[in-house]
Amino acid sequence: ATRADLLPVAFLKELSVLHDQVPPFPDAQAFAIIEEDLGRSLGSIFSEISEGPIAAASLGQVYRARLRSTGEVVAVKVRRPDLSRRVALDMAVLDRVARWTESLESRSDRYDFLKFLRGEWVSSIHEFDRVLHEEMDYRREAESAKRFKANFASWSDVHVPRIHDAHSSERVLVMEFIEGIKVTDLEGLRRAGQSPRAINERLYRTYFKQLFEDGVVHGDPHPGNLLVMHDGRLAFFDFGMSGELDDELRGKMVTAFFHMVERDIDGLIADLFALD
């Protein structure tokens, strides 16, 4: 939904609905998952919780609630029921399509347009499957969020919601509730007195730091996972798809970045080979 280089605009608009407007599953199922995973009744954890989710994406949906213990307003993220089976079915279908595509490549020169991914379809699907299963475990997301928050502790203009570990599990994640404006809502940003250009610069500076300095990368920067808070801070959400870069890879990327800035085409080509 963010790849205008691959798909027409009409496709992107339709796919962008999957960021936070997927048809939700019933509240009763969501609340049963919360009680089962946390081992307590809903009323003993929250003094109030929204009727219906405030956002629903492909892997889970989010409720607005208030903690009974502190009165803090929180976001409660609940994984979709039966998700493991559904994902396994989808991956089996994609695997068959990938194997069929690779067989076409090997049988005919009519499919020259597929050659840029020759032999990579099946391995790409397997990588997608691996990452998706990591994203389905909210405990892993919680740890990634805390690492990211620590890395940006000195950045006053970047915010990561605080995670409530005592109320989180593999299928439930409770965090500080953040209100703000989507980074793609340019008119909304201007009305709030925020400069879209300044927000854009802040966004790519955060990614330079992640890629070149920290080696811990927020791997899913779509508009549903980035908000501009009312005080101008850039808030990051959903760390289920985080990646890690070792020192060698970070060094190669830094070299490539400088070759790009210097318009050193030969150096950049060599970097691309080095990065495989």
Q: What angle (nearest 5°) sits at the alpha carbon of residue 224, between those of residues 82 and 85?
A: 15
Cα-based angle 129, 131, 132 (whole degrees, multiple of 5) = 65
Residue in 220, 231, 246, 264 annotated catalytic: 220
Helix (H, G, I), strand (E, B) or coil at 183: coil
The span from the CA of 173 to the CA of 239, in Å, is 11
Nearest to 67 by CA among 82, 50, 45, 88: 45
Tell me 224's DSSP state.
G
Give the Cβ contact number of residue 93 at 10 Å: 11
Position 86: which residue type?
Answer: R
Q: How far is 211 from 244, CA to CA, in rounded Å? A: 9
Q: What is the dihedral of CA 257, 261, 265, 269, to 10 degrees?
A: 10
Q: How far is CA 247 from CA 11, 130, 204, 250, 254, in A?
A: 37, 23, 20, 5, 11
Judge contact between 152 and 160, C-beta under 8 A: yes
CA distance 101 to 246: 33
Per the annotation, the verdict on 220 as an active-site residue is yes
Catalytic positions: 220
